[in-house]
Amino acid sequence: MSNSAAPSPAISVVMVVRNGEKYIEEAIQSILEQTFADFEFIIVDDNSTDNTVSIVQSFADNRIVLTSNPGKPGRIDGLNHGYGIARGKYLANMDADDICTHSRLEVQYNCMESHPEIGILGGNAIAFQSGVQKPSQGTLLKFPNSHSECVHLLVVTGTSSFLNPTTFIRRSAIPEGLEYLHGSEHVEDYKYFCDMCTVTKLANTDNVLVNYRIHPEQVSERFPAVQVRNARKIQMDLLHRLLGENMRTHSWLTNEAHTIALRDIRTFVDELERALGCKIPYGTKSLVKNYVDRISTEELFSNRFTDIVYFLRYKAKRLLTANR
C-alpha cells in the first residue's frame, strides 16, 4: 500500500483520522478519483478503536500510505507525523468526514504552479447536513481571495481565513521547525495559519473544492468554548508578536480600557499594516463591533460608532482602489 520506493509525488495528501468508519470510505474515494493523479495519500490513524484501519486497508491503491500516530493522541501530533513523512512538493489537507470535488487537486496544483508567491491556498466549499441533505443541496461557503483579506480575518477578527480540508501548502514556504503546537487544541489549524501568514502569501480560489459535512461529532460542535478560548489567546499572541511594545498602546484590545477614540483605531490599523507588510481591508459594522465587543460603554456606541464606521469604510475604499 506504500509507494516509498517511487519518485517523489507532486502532492502529499494528509489525513488524520480517529474512529472515522462512518464517513472515511467516501472521503478516501473522493481523493483516489481525482483528475490529478500524481499524489501520495498519507492516512495517519490516530488510535482508532473501530473499523477505520480495515476500511483503509480495503483500498488496493499503492498511492495510499497508512501509518499510525507515534505521538500523543490527537490531530496535532498526527499532523506533524504526516507532514514529517510527506515527500510531495505540496501538502493537501483532507478530513475523514468530507468529500473532495473531482478536480480539487488539479485546480490547486495549477494555481500554485502559476503563483509561486502563494504559500497556502484554500478555496470555497459546499456545507451540507449529513443524513439530511445531499451535497448538491448544501450551502456555499465563501472564503476571502486576497492575502490582505485572509490576514485580516486571522489577525483582526480572530477567525480562520480557510476551511482546513481545502488547504494546499507549499512545503518550501514552511519555515524550518514550524509545527502544529500543543496548547492550540481544536484550533491548531488557526494557529498554524497565523504562524504562516507572516512569512508567505495566503489566498483562496473561487472554486468549490470540498463538500463539507455537518454532523454532531464535529470538533466545532463538541468543543466550541475551547475553540473560542484558544483562538483568542492565539490572536493576542500574534498581535503581541507583530506590534511588540506598541501593543501596550492598545489596551482596549485586552479589556484594560473602557473608551476608544478614532485615533486609536487609526494607529492600530497603520501599525498592523506596517508589521504585516500588506494593506488590510476594513469597512463593515460587524467588523467594527469586533474591535469593541469587549467595551460596554454606551457612550462609545452612541457618540463614536458612526465616526469609526465612516473611517473604516473610507480606508477600505482607498485601500481597495490602491490594490487593483
On whether residue 6 sits in a domain, the answer given is no
Kindly state whether residues 40 and 109 are assigned to the same domain. yes
* Residue type at position 201: K
Asked whether residue 276 is assigned to any structural domain, the reply reads yes
Single out the residue in 195, 224, 253 at which a domain terminates: 224
Give residues with Cβ within 8 angstroms of 298, minimum separation 6: none
- In this structure, the answer to whether residues 98 and 241 fall within a common structural domain is no
Picking from 242, 141, 250, the residue whose alpha carbon sits closest to that of residue 197 is 242
Mean confidence (pLDDT) of the chain: 81
288 domain residue, yes or no: yes
Q: Which of 163, 198, 224 is a domain's end point?
A: 224
With pLDDT > 70 as the criterion, what percentage of the chain qualifies? 75
Residue 84 shares a structural domain with residue 161: yes
- pLDDT on residue 4: 52
For residues 208 and 233, membership in a common domain is answered with no
Query: Residue 22 carries which side chain, given as an amino acid letter?
Result: K
**Which residue type is seen at 168?**
F
Q: Residue 19, Cα to own-chain centre: how many angstroms?
A: 23
Is the pLDDT at 104 greater than 90? The verdict is yes
The answer as to whether 268 is a domain residue is yes
Do 38 and 142 reside in the same domain of the chain?
yes
Residue-wise pLDDT tens digits, 105-146:
999 999 999 999 999 999 999 999 887 778 878 899 999 999
CA angle (13, 16, 17) in 5-degree steps: 130
The answer to whether residue 246 is domain-embedded is yes
Is there a single domain that holds both residue 168 and residue 86? yes
Closest CA to 13 of 66, 77, 54: 66
pLDDT digits (tens, 9 = 90+) for 56-75: 999 999 999 999 999 888 89
* Domain match, 142 and 211 both: yes
Q: Which of 9-18, 84-93, 96-105, 183-192 has the lowest mean pLDDT?
A: 183-192
Q: Which domain range does residue 197 map to? A: 11-224
Task: Write down the pLDDT at residue 274.
Answer: 77
Domain end among 178, 198, 224 = 224
Same-domain check for residues 254 and 283? yes
**Residue 307 confidence (pLDDT) above 50:** no
Say yes or no: 262 and 216 in one domain. no
Instruction: With respect to residue 175, please indicate whether it lies within any of the assigned structural domains.
Output: yes
The cell for 287 is 467588523
CATH number of 177's domain? 3.90.550.10
What's the structural domain count of the chain? 2
Of the two residues 26 and 313, the one the predictor is more confident about is 26
If one compares 252 and 239, the residue with the highest pLDDT of the two is 239
pLDDT of residue 93: 98
Average pLDDT over residues 174-178: 95
Residues forming beta bridges with residue 169, ordered by sequence position: 91, 120
Residue 94 pLDDT > 60, yes or no? Answer: yes
pLDDT at 99 over 50: yes
Same domain, 145 and 287: no
Question: What share of the chain in percent tops pLDDT 90?
Answer: 52
What pTM was estimated for this model as a whole? 0.80
Strands 118-129, 99-100: pairing kind: unpaired
124 and 260 assigned to the same domain: no
| 111-144 burial code (b ≥16 CB/10 A, e <16) | bbeeeeebbbbbbbbbbbeeeeeebeebeeeebb
Q: Is 317 a domain residue?
A: yes
* CA 283 – CA 260 distance, rounded (Å): 17
Q: How far is CA 12 from the centre of its chain?
A: 18
Same-domain status, 261 and 189: no
Number of helices and strands in the chain (H, E):
12, 9
* 3 lies in some domain: no
